[in-house]
Chain A
Amino acid sequence: MKTFFEKVWQDHVITSLGDADLLQVDRLVLHELSGSQAVRALAEANRKPMAKEQVFTVIEHLISTRPGRGPTESASKSGPIMIETTRRASIDWGFHFIDYNDPRQGIAHVVAPELGIAFPGATLVCCDSHTSTVGGVGALAWGIGASEAEHVLATQTLAQSRPKTMRVTFDGKLQPGVYAKDMILALIGQVGAQGGIGYAVEYAGEAVRALPIEGRLTLCNMAIEFQAKYGFVPPDEVTLEYLRGREFSPKGAAWDAAAAYWLSLATDPGASFDLEVRVDCNTLAPQVTWGTSPQQVTSIEGTVPRPAEAADEKALGYMRLEAGTPLAGLKVDVAYIGSCTNARLSDLRAAADVLRGRKVAPGVTAICVPGSTPVKAAAEAEGLDRVFIDAGFEWHESACGFCGHIGDNRFADLRVVSTTNRNFEGRQGPKTRTHLASPATVAASAVAGCIADARVLTLSPALPQGGGRNAFARRGSA
């Protein structure tokens, strides 16, 4: 009896190195922020890529999201040289290359499942800690450093020590207005930001099986926020349905063979894990972070807690919050929808359902950066762009955008409610105070001008609608 993880790991062991294994890497994904360092280091060492057909490059980290952007346009001063270095090396070496203007372009972790670059049972690595996102289609994927990427380029292998296994079972059913983002934030609040150190995490349970692939990707995206390098949902029929016909998915008889193999990777009944964690979804409410670590999180119906340790006090100082303040009603300056966490089509639909016929509150900057160019195109085909724009949102080209601060100071010293994955000090700009939440919560907050519970707006039609006032805040703004 084996777990999914044990089967996939074993599939990739070339040789044992003692307390580590040398693993075959099926897919290396590069981007211009760290990929540029890896390709330059490889060239300087006079080495060549070992398996160029297994390497994919996407321009997405530093490239501007401005509509009409140019080929090296970036908010980062070093953006142009990093983009150009990565582009040149990727073309010269013959990697699969997805440039800024390619209709397939987007954030690497959004693109990889969309194109079938990630697949069940694959080992996939990328110089980005959110690489585990693609565990949502059953890949074993993790973030690596630039030196490790150089090693993969040169050998298509990586030495890794084998992690312990954890299973997180999400029991029950999500209530309307509660999403995968709320599940993962609640889990991080429960186990702490260090709770996953040394573990590969399988997400299981009724609530996970009920999630469409896009929700599973959100769940896996934030594994690293509790320091599990690996997070995944073993493949099932939902996974196969999602991957069938994608550009890099096998076709015809090859598909049938692959699909049968992938389903066989599921964890055997009775297989055991080093650690079991359970989360009850029946009573789960939307979650919002209040601090500077994703573990500093509470229900949208909750208040800023009393500091439990020194780090909490430091966080409250940075966030300019006091214990006892209700989260709902807290005035926000910016509402941001974007990132590899929550900018796929279902996320945009959830936000649009809140925004339809409503306006962003005066004084609030609202921005939507779709997770990929295909997501943007699909949203536009069903008119979601009009919903966002009519509500007062900016509608951007796809890239990593404002998730990390690369030079644009638009969010400096402001309070932001964001669908991203990190609320660290300065993550979105100097003195920027980030509250993480789901797309529905961010959209509702944009309309209210303060952190707001989307369920109050969308599930209670009797309440007043429209922006300009904190119409449905629970309390006055802090």
Chain B
Amino acid sequence: MEAFTRVTGIAAPLVRINIDTDQIIPTLFLGGTDAKGYGAHLFHGWRFLPDGRPNPEFVLNQPPFDRAQVLLADRNFGCGSSRERAPKALREFGFRAIVAPSYGGIFFNNCYRNGMVPVELPIEAVREIAAEVDANPAAQVTVDLEALKVISPSGKVYPFTAPTTLRGMLLAGVDEIELTLGKQSEIEGFREKDRARRPWAYLPSESDP
């Protein structure tokens, strides 16, 4: 996975509740088996007018937020569908971090596997940072996963917590599958004992004779 340590950049305020992954990238644009090609459709329904032109009222179409690397949102961001194209679309657009009070659980895990950190801060903190950004849109916000801190443009520091396992993987940019395959003997040992205990969980394959 792509590693992430810290980012300092423009922060776009989209402080709404329950922004679901159908809004982040509509089902219509999930086509293809590729790992890339989704950033162009990020927030499609909000970002573009029916004739396809950018909607000037949407925050990500307003400089400097079109270069934003941090997204400020309200609770339950990324709820709904499990589509991993949602974090992929955000990452391709340029985002490296999201700051919100809470996240949809599947989306939260998917972010870590796409080089992006979902930071949990109380809504009061998100609003304070958003207010600073409103006053000075070009100001920079820092999200530091190593130090577990968000730093507002004025220098106010907001500590946060992150799951140890996922954080470690993202900081190191590990190949998670490689890491797990390193535990192959433990996995095989478990399966052998489990098969004796719960034989019904293991099936012969259709392609076996």
Binding site for B on A (CB under 8 A): 11, 14-15, 17-20, 22, 24, 26, 33-34, 36-37, 40-41, 45, 47, 52-54, 76-79, 81-82, 85, 94-97, 119, 121-122, 127-129, 142-148, 150-151, 154-157, 159, 161, 163, 193-194, 197-198, 224, 227, 229, 248-250, 254, 257-258, 261, 293, 295, 309-311, 314, 404-407, 422, 424-427, 430
Please tell me which one of the listed residues A97, A143, A159, A198 contacts residue B106 in the complex, with CB atoms under 8 A apart: A143
Does B155 interact with chain A (Cβ within 8 Å)?
Answer: no
Q: Which residues of B contact A54 (CB under 8 A)?
A: 201-203
A235 CB, nearest partner CB in chain B, Å: 13
Please tell me which one of the listed residues B163, B194, B205 contacts residue A94 in the complex, with CB atoms under 8 A apart: B205
Does B187 interact with chain A (Cβ within 8 Å)?
Answer: yes
Q: Which residues of A contact B208 (CB under 8 A)?
A: 53, 94
- Contact flags B18-48 to A (C-beta < 8 A → 1, else 0): 1010110011101111110000000001000
Q: List 21 A-B contacts (CB under 8 A).
A: A11-B194, A15-B183, A18-B164, A22-B180, A33-B30, A37-B84, A47-B177, A53-B202, A53-B205, A94-B208, A96-B205, A97-B206, A129-B81, A193-B18, A224-B106, A227-B79, A310-B16, A424-B20, A425-B23, A427-B22, A430-B50
Nearest CB in chain A to that of B177: its residue? A154
Q: Determine the distance from Cα of A197 to Cα of B87 in the docked complex, in whole angstroms.
A: 18
Given contacts A14-B186, A129-B81, A424-B22, contact A81 B207 (CB under 8 A): no
A40 B26 Cβ-Cβ under 8 A: no
Does B83 interact with chain A (Cβ within 8 Å)?
Answer: yes
B203 CB, nearest partner CB in chain A, Å: 5
A24 B18 Cβ-Cβ under 8 A: no
Q: Determine the distance from Cα of A257 to Cα of B200 in the docked complex, in whole angstroms.
A: 9
Does B176 interact with chain A (Cβ within 8 Å)?
Answer: yes
Q: Determine the distance from Cα of A129 to Cα of B107 in the docked complex, in whole angstroms.
A: 10
A157 B22 Cβ-Cβ under 8 A: no
**How many of chain B's residues touch chain A, expressed as a range?**
35 or more
Given contacts A14-B186, A52-B207, A145-B84, contact A157 B180 (CB under 8 A): yes
Q: Which residues of A contact B198 (CB under 8 A)?
A: 11, 121, 258, 261
Interface of B is mostly: loop
A407 CB, nearest partner CB in chain B, Å: 6
Q: Determine the distance from Cα of A265 to Cα of B186 in the docked complex, in whole angstroms.
A: 25
B187 A156 Cβ-Cβ under 8 A: yes
B84-141 at interface with A (beta carbon < 8 Å): 84, 87, 102-106, 109-110, 113-114
B92 CB, nearest partner CB in chain A, Å: 15
Nearest CB in chain A to that of B112: its residue? A147
Q: Which residues of A contact B200 (CB under 8 A)?
A: 119, 249-250, 254, 257-258
Q: Which residues of B contact A198 (CB under 8 A)?
A: 105
B102 A197 Cβ-Cβ under 8 A: yes
B89 CB, nearest partner CB in chain A, Å: 13
Q: Determine the distance from Cα of A15 to Cα of B203 in the docked complex, in whole angstroms.
A: 23
Nearest CB in chain A to that of B111: its residue? A145
B151 CB, nearest partner CB in chain A, Å: 25
Q: Which residues of A contact B166 (CB under 8 A)?
A: 20, 161
Please tell me which one of the listed residues B165, B187, B190, B207 contacts residue A20 in the complex, with CB atoms under 8 A apart: B165
Q: Which residues of A contact B114 (CB under 8 A)?
A: 147
Please tell me which one of the listed residues A15, A26, A193 contacts residue B79 in the complex, with CB atoms under 8 A apart: A193
Q: Which residues of A contact B75 (CB under 8 A)?
A: 194
Does B204 interact with chain A (Cβ within 8 Å)?
Answer: yes
Given contacts A52-B207, A227-B79, contact A311 B30 (CB under 8 A): no
* Central interface residue in B81, B110, B166, B183, by most chain A CB within 10 Å: B81
B177 A422 Cβ-Cβ under 8 A: no
B82 A34 Cβ-Cβ under 8 A: yes
4 pairs of A and B residues whose beta carbons are closest in the complex? A78-B31, A94-B207, A53-B205, A194-B76
Q: Which residues of B contact A293 (CB under 8 A)?
A: 18, 20
Does B17 interact with chain A (Cβ within 8 Å)?
Answer: yes
Q: Determine the distance from Cα of A248 to Cα of B204 in the docked complex, in whole angstroms.
A: 10
Q: Which residues of A contact B194 (CB under 8 A)?
A: 11, 24
A45 B22 Cβ-Cβ under 8 A: no
Does B80 interact with chain A (Cβ within 8 Å)?
Answer: yes
